[in-house]
């Protein structure tokens, strides 16, 4: 795809892990509201290209795919550089990419540790660092997708919960360090989409829903709307983590 920086004056959001699930929903929602979207993917290139084609039908040259492994330092450096070059600007970094799977004590490996911390804490930090000068020049924003389990641990997911807790602290710390030019906030989804790969049974789903005051799951658009609120309508909010969980964390 040929991309020319003069083709658009829209604000640009880089969304990691944007080919599917919450990332894709966020891409569609922001795109509907005028943003140009950089869709990052690691393995889901086909899905990412399908999403880009869908969005470009609605508005030509408004979505572009960038494939990179966030566990690879060279790939992360390339992603930060290339994201600036596509349309000549980046106004928002949305750290959505995340590995998620159980790690029962007794089975935890160094690979589990490296993988879960890499996607959920390390990559968001180094992408934020690499894009900080660009975001500062745009008075931009960073949104981190955290998890209500950063505060309330999920059974047999110790490493994942630790990584998300690190991301929560990172959000608050960067909000102080990057102010006043860059706002940094987090969104902590509750029960929005069930994990894939049979990670949760029907009985477990019903138990979770029974503990939610609103007695239902949220939708991916609930997350996307909260992200857009933080980007567009909250100029005096930074360092905050909004739980979008139907009251589950109460």
Residue 245, SS3 per DSSP: coil
CB 116, CB 160: distance < 8 Å: yes
Which DSSP letter does residue 123 get? H
The active-site residue out of 160, 183, 191, 220 is: 160
Q: Summarize the confidence of residues 131-144 as an average pLDDT.
A: 98
Mean pLDDT of the chain: 94
**Dist. CA 130–CA 208, nearest whole Å:** 38
Q: How far apart are CA 157 and CA 100, in angstroms?
A: 8
If one compares 249 and 75, the residue with the highest pLDDT of the two is 75
5 pLDDT above the threshold of 50: no
Q: What is the per-residue pLDDT for 212?
A: 94
Helix axes 158-178, 110-117, angle to 10 degrees: 30
* Paired residues of 67 in beta bridges: 41
- 192/246 Cα distance (integer angstroms): 10
CB 149 within 8 A of CB 167: no
Does residue 164 have a pLDDT over 80? yes
DSSP 152-166: SPPTT-HHHHHHHHH
Instruction: Please say if the pLDDT value at position 4 is more than 50.
Output: no
Question: Exposed, middle or buried by CB within 10 Å (0-12, 13-18, 19+), for 14?
Answer: buried
Q: Which pTM value belongs to this model?
A: 0.93
Report the pLDDT value the prediction gives residue 200, as an integer from 0 to 100.
75
pLDDT of residue 198: 55
Residue whose structure tokens are 């007695």: 215
Verify whether residue 101 is a known catalytic residue. Answer: no
* String of DSSP letters for 141-202: EEEEE--GGGTSPPTT-HHHHHHHHHHHHHHHHHHHHHTTT-EEEEEEE-SSS--STT-S-H
Average pLDDT over residues 226-236: 98
């Amino acid at each position: 795809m040929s991309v020319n920086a003069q083709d658009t004056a829209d604000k640009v959001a880089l969304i990691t892990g944007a080919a599917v699930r919450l990332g894709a929903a966020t891409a569609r929602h922001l795109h509907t509201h005028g943003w140009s979207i950089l869709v990052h993917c690691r393995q889901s290139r086909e899905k990412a290209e399908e999403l880009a084609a869908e969005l470009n039908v609605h508005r030509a040259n408004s979505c572009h795919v960038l494939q990179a492994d966030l566990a690879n330092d060279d790939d992360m450096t390339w992603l930060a550089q290339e994201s600036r070059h596509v349309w000549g600007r980046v106004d928002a970094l949305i750290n959505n990419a995340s590995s998620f799977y159980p790690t029962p004590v007794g089975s935890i490996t160094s690979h589990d540790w490296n993988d879960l911390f890499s996607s959920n804490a390390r990559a968001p930090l180094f992408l934020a660092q690499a894009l900080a000068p660009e975001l500062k020049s745009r008075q931009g924003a960073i949104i981190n997708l955290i998890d209500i389990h950063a505060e309330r641990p999920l059974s047999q997911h110790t490493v994942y919960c630790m990584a998300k807790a690190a991301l929560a602290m990172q959000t608050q710390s960067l909000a102080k360090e990057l102010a006043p030019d860059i706002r940094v906030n987090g969104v902590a989804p509750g029960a929005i989409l069930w994990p894939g790969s049979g990670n949760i049974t029907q009985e477990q789903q019903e138990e979770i829903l029974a503990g939610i005051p609103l007695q239902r799951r949220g939708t991916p658009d609930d997350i996307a709307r909260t992200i857009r609120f933080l980007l567009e309508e909250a100029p005096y909010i930074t360092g905050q983590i909004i739980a979008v969980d139907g009251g589950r964390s109460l």
